Amino acid sequence: MSAPIFSRVVIVGVGLIGGSFALALKQAGLARSVVGVGRQQANLQQALELGVIDQALPLAEAVTGADLIFLAVPVAQTEAVLRSLAPHLAAHALITDGGSTKQDVIAAARAALGEKFSQFVAAHPIAGSEFNGAAAARVDLYQARRVILCPEADTPAAALATVRAVWQACGAQVSDMPAAQHDAVFAAVSHLPHMLAFAYMNHVLASDDAELKLQMGGTGFRDFTRIGGGNADMWADIALANRKDVLDEIAHFQATLEQLKEKISSGDRAALRAFIEASSQARRQWKI
Amino acid sequence: MSAPIFSRVVIVGVGLIGGSFALALKQAGLARSVVGVGRQQANLQQALELGVIDQALPLAEAVTGADLIFLAVPVAQTEAVLRSLAPHLAAHALITDGGSTKQDVIAAARAALGEKFSQFVAAHPIAGSEFNGAAAARVDLYQARRVILCPEADTPAAALATVRAVWQACGAQVSDMPAAQHDAVFAAVSHLPHMLAFAYMNHVLASDDAELKLQMGGTGFRDFTRIGGGNADMWADIALANRKDVLDEIAHFQATLEQLKEKISSGDRAALRAFIEASSQARRQWKI
């Protein structure tokens, strides 16, 4: 199906993720009007000036008369925001989100929306960067990027189809996955690498000659640590929201690192080489 | 000082590192003739066709009459190559290298060269990529990149000055560091991140749904794992050559990762946020 044209799309949290969604829907001709909701007036003002949103309103007012609402807030705020907007939600309106964890977001949506949970379709766009705010929004952020939808058994097929079409209109490759599988997969391919990069940077900073070391980092250091610059509030929330899977991933990684340490310490070059070659081969074959 | 013009520069190992050195010296007008030495005929042929080298010769023949020799071979091969070339080395010739570890290379050079060790100046260009071979060589690889020289107490000042001028002519920012400090610093900023990327890729590959996970990796995964595609022979050699420092780094990293795990598992959001923020702030301020 192709997506319907929405009279009013509401973006709660007009940053990189929310702002880029607004720009992409506008470019696709799917949003007659985009209303931004946020706590930082300067950011909303910038979003207005950049044409990311058409107007800024308080949440209740924005949601009244909205057809589509996109939540781009830290996952820990999902329940509070949904509780505030629920009384103002039209019966035909749909809600989707951009959170990086899905079991907690779905639980929050169930708790906050009650029977209106059928209007919510959980989504995770695999896109982002280390930049924040409305000024970072890009019309092509979702172009050719994956978006994972996590429908529940009671998610209506029509709501799922519409939200799928909306993300496709943003240029995304949309696929579905149960929320539990989503959280386990992204604990491995996203949350763990972020935790390792945060731990690595802290490790370097804790050493006596941290300043010299930072000066000596080359292109490998640059790329390996890029995600170590991620937003602290967002990543603290993600780690806690997906705590069990993240801790499992760290524990299994620790065991693998211990194996590598053993190979280096025993001086078994053939085993060490085979370990590195497995990584090297898989990474050289990998494409985004 | 400016670098002298060399009649014959010999490149032992005409890959990315050796080939780029040759191209940069030619462009700077410092090499009348560049002779390549290597074991892979197809690669040498390609180097000739691409104008990276002017001729290919066996080691002994190449070194006879050479003024400057650049070793761009895996660090574990340093001693064998230097033993083979030592009898043919002219008294005025200088040798430098591109190895990623320096204490082992210097020990190998002392053992192989004996009194002629005074003709050797250990160097580490902080440049590279996941690509190999003469075809990957780039005239600007060293432009604005760091090169670390590790002079010893008995390295003649004139040899050091000439090798410094050669690397500067390649466009590099050259600085000096004792070999022990070099190895400790690069264990932290280069060898450890590589080991973590190798371990991380093996960790993902060992899971049941490895294929799905690899499909779901986004731009963060891409950058974090780029160095995980490094050459297995080269990195096995580096890990073993710098074994003590690498094992120390892994052990300290393990302790830091354990701290992070504790913060997640205890649910202490403020402590977790502060840990991530330390990484984030340092990384956002960092520049190559």
pLDDT score recorded for residue B129: 64
Cα separation, A66 vs B124, in Å, equals 61
Which A residues, 234 through 273, put their C-beta within 8 Å of a C-beta on chain B? Answer: 235-236, 239-240, 243, 246-247, 249-254, 256-257, 259-261, 264-265, 267, 269, 272-273
- B49-68 residues touching A, CB cutoff 8 A: none
Nearest CA in chain A to B184: A213
The DSSP string of A215-260 is HH--HHHHHHHGGGGS-HHHHHHHHHHTHHHHHHHHHHHHHHHHHH
Which CATH class, in words, describes the domain spanning A6-177?
Answer: alpha beta
Mutation pick from A146, A203, A226, A281 vs chain B, by most beta carbons of B within 10 Å, is A203
What residues pair up with B271 in beta bridges, in sequence order?
none
**ipTM of the predicted structure?**
0.89
Give me the residue from B126, B198, B224 closest to A279, CB to CB. Answer: B198
Helix axes B269-285, A192-205, angle to 10 degrees: 70
pLDDT for res A131: 66
First to last CA, chain B: 27
**Quick one: which of A285, A225, A161 has its CA closest to B217?**
A285
The tens digit of pLDDT for each residue in A231-255 reads 999 999 999 999 999 999 999 999 9
Amino acid A129: pLDDT: 64
Assign B135 to helix, strand or coil. helix
Task: State the Cα–Cα distance between residues B11 and B68, nearest whole angstrom.
Answer: 9
| Architecture (CATH level 2) of domain B181-285 | Orthogonal Bundle (1.10)
pTM for the model stands at 0.89
Read off the pLDDT band of A130 (50, 70, 90): low
Torsion angle, alpha carbons of A268, A269, A274, A277, to 10:
150
Locate B218 and state its tokens.
């986004």
The string of pLDDT tens digits covering residues A24-59 is 999 999 999 999 999 999 999 999 999 999 999 999
Please judge whether A198 and B228 are an interchain contact, meaning their C-beta atoms are less than 8 angstroms apart: no
Examine the pLDDT at A128 and tell me if it is beyond 90.
no
Beta-bridge mates of residue B124: B148
What DSSP character marks residue A68?
Answer: E
Torsion of CA B236, B238, B239, B245, to 10 degrees: 180
Domain boundaries defined on chain A = 6-177, 181-285
B280 contacts A265? CB cut-off 8 A: no
Successive 10-residue mean pLDDT values, chain B, 288 residues: 90 96 97 97 96 98 97 94 98 96 97 98 86 89 95 98 97 97 97 98 96 94 96 94 97 98 98 98 94
- A257-285 pLDDT, tens digit each: 999 999 999 999 999 999 999 999 999 99
Give the residue ranges of DSSP H helices in A38-133: 41-49, 59-63, 78-85, 103-113
Q: How confident is the model at residue A116 (pLDDT cuts 50, 70, 90)?
A: very high
